[in-house]
Amino acid sequence: MSTSPKNTQSFNEHYNFAYLDEQTKRMIRRAILKGIAIPGYQVPFASREMPMPYGWGTGGVQLTAAVIGDKDILKVIDQGSDDTTNAVALRDFFKQTTGVSTTTSTKEATLIQTRHRIPEAPLNGDQVLIYQVPIPEPLRFLEPRETETRKMHALEEYGLMHVKLYEDIAHFGHISTTYAYPVMVNSRYVMDPSPIPKFDNPKMHQMPALQLFGAGREKRIYAIPPYTDVVSLDFEDHPFTPQEFSEPCALCAAENVYLDEVILDDKGSRMFVCSDSDYCEGRRAQGHKGHMAADPVHSNELSEA
């Protein structure tokens, strides 16, 4: 099929724009519209085989391919970082098949495909956040049969999930789930927010941006429209609490952000740095400096010596 993109640079013309054929895009687009109309409900779709293995974000890739246009600016992150394998590979995939501009800046992007993080900078109403989801069914580890979990969602029968969280409290004194922490969307469906840290859960509540979720292997699409209630499940006497970190980022001194632990040697020394690489770089560019950040003046003196 011939295309004459206006704002895009050259791209691989051996494939249709954004790789997928038009019938597949229509099928995915219909599923997205249903997903937005029923926030948190998992819409089945005819997931296609993609040129990367299951587990590499085929669900998110199919969503992005169905949504992306020639005027979009794409950002792809993998656990917050723009330059890890998954992010680089998928960004290059869309560069090759669409020719759209890509960015690492959260502010500039119109589409953000993410694996397991929500960016630290707040998103606006013109942006779309697309999550890669491995297992979309929050009840799957409690009830393996799809026929049963469907019935449980239909009847709003979520007692089993509360029992699971209660058993955590009975065993450990607190809810031990730290990622893929289940949420209640629009007071109706319990939803798996994909394996984002529970630190990110509060950002989903009343977010101005549209959130789309795609699970390629499990063939499900779901969505949270902007300004929708997303409540992490908890108990009155054991309220939901996001992770807290005892020290700021070692490179940019940011507090109240999600930090990755980096092991430095085999003697047990470590550092904590922002998981969101764009946020950390932005802060360092503004002059914020953590206690382990390289000192440019000092390192210049060293190299001259």
Distance CA 35, CA 62 (A): 15
Rounded to a whole number of angstroms, the minimum distance from the CB of residue 44 to other proteins is 8
Number of residues that bind other proteins (CB under 8 A): 50
Distance CA 236, CA 219 (A): 35
Q: DSSP E strands: which ranges in 59-153? A: 73-78, 101-102, 111-115, 128-132
Decide if residue 122 touches other proteins (CB under 8 A): no
Decide if residue 10 touches other proteins (CB under 8 A): no
Helix (H), strand (E) counts: the chain: 8, 12
Decide if residue 302 touches other proteins (CB under 8 A): no
- In this chain, which of 9, 12, 13, 26 binds other proteins, going by CB under 8 A? 26
Segment interacting with other proteins, rule: CB under 8 A, options 149-157, 161-169, 253-261, 287-295: 149-157
Segment interacting with other proteins, rule: CB under 8 A, options 62-70, 158-166, 169-177, 195-203: 62-70
Distances (CA, A) of 91 to 19, 84, 171, 212, 283: 13, 11, 43, 18, 24
Footprint on residues 160-199 left by other proteins (CB under 8 A): 186, 188-189
Segment interacting with other proteins, rule: CB under 8 A, options 67-75, 83-91, 268-276, 294-302: 67-75
Is position 40 annotated as part of the catalytic site? yes
Distance CA 67, CA 220 (A): 16
- Closest CB to other proteins among residues 64, 201: 64
Neighbours of 169 (CB within 10 A): 14
- In this chain, which of 84, 225, 238, 281 binds other proteins, going by CB under 8 A? 225
- Closest CB to other proteins among residues 81, 110: 110
Is position 280 annotated as part of the catalytic site? yes
Distances (CA, A) of 106 to 59, 62, 75, 123, 137: 21, 21, 7, 8, 29
Q: Kind of pairing, strands 230-232 and 183-185? A: antiparallel
Which residues make beta-bridge pairs with 74? Answer: 102, 111
The residues of the shown chain that bind other proteins, judged by CB under 8 A, are 1, 3-6, 16-17, 22-23, 25-27, 29-39, 41, 43-44, 66-70, 125, 150-151, 153-155, 186, 188-189, 206, 208, 210, 223-229
Indicate which residues carry an active-site annotation.
Answer: 40, 249, 252, 274, 280
